[in-house]
Amino acid sequence: MTEPEVLALVTIEPLDRADIEAFVQTSGDGALVTFEGVIRDHDHGASVTLLEYEAHPEAERFLRETCTEVARETGLRVAAAHRIGSLAVGDVALVASVAAPHRAEAFAACALLVDRIKERTPIWKRQHFEGGATEWVNL
C-alpha cells in the first residue's frame, strides 16, 4: 500500500499558513479547514508572557507518522507544522490543515489531526509567567 503524501514540519521559523493550505487543497475540494494554535496571554488565571517550545530530535518523524495515519484513515490530504523556540503572545505555534469535498469531513479530520498531534508528538512547552515563574506543560 502506498503511503499518502503529507506535509509535516517542525521548525524554528514562523509558519506559513498559505503554503500549508496550498499543499492540501485540490480543485475537487469544497472545504478547507485550518487550525492555528496561537499563543495566548493567560493560563489558569495567570498572565503568560512567552512560551518556549522544545522538541525531541525525532519530533518531525512523529508528526509525519500522525499526519500519515490521519490521511490513511480519512482518505484526505493533511498537513501540519509546529514551531519550536521562543514564541511571544500572538505567535502561531501550530498550523494543521485538511481539505475535503465537504465541510463535515474536513472539520472532523482536522479535529482528529490536532488531537493526535497533541497526544503523540514529543514537543513540550515551558510557560513564562508575569513575575518570573515558569511551568513545563505536556512533559
Computed over every residue of the chain, the mean pLDDT equals 96
Dump pLDDT digits (tens) for 83-132. 999 999 999 999 999 999 999 999 999 999 999 999 999 999 999 999 99
Query: For residues 120 and 60, what is the distance between their CA atoms, to the nearest angstrom?
Result: 11
* Cell numbers given for 20: 500549508
Is it the case that residue 18 has pLDDT exceeding 70? yes
Inter-helix orientation angle 59-74/103-120, to 10° = 150
**Whole-model pTM?**
0.95
Domains of the chain: 7-38+57-121 (3.90.1170.40)
SS3 19: helix
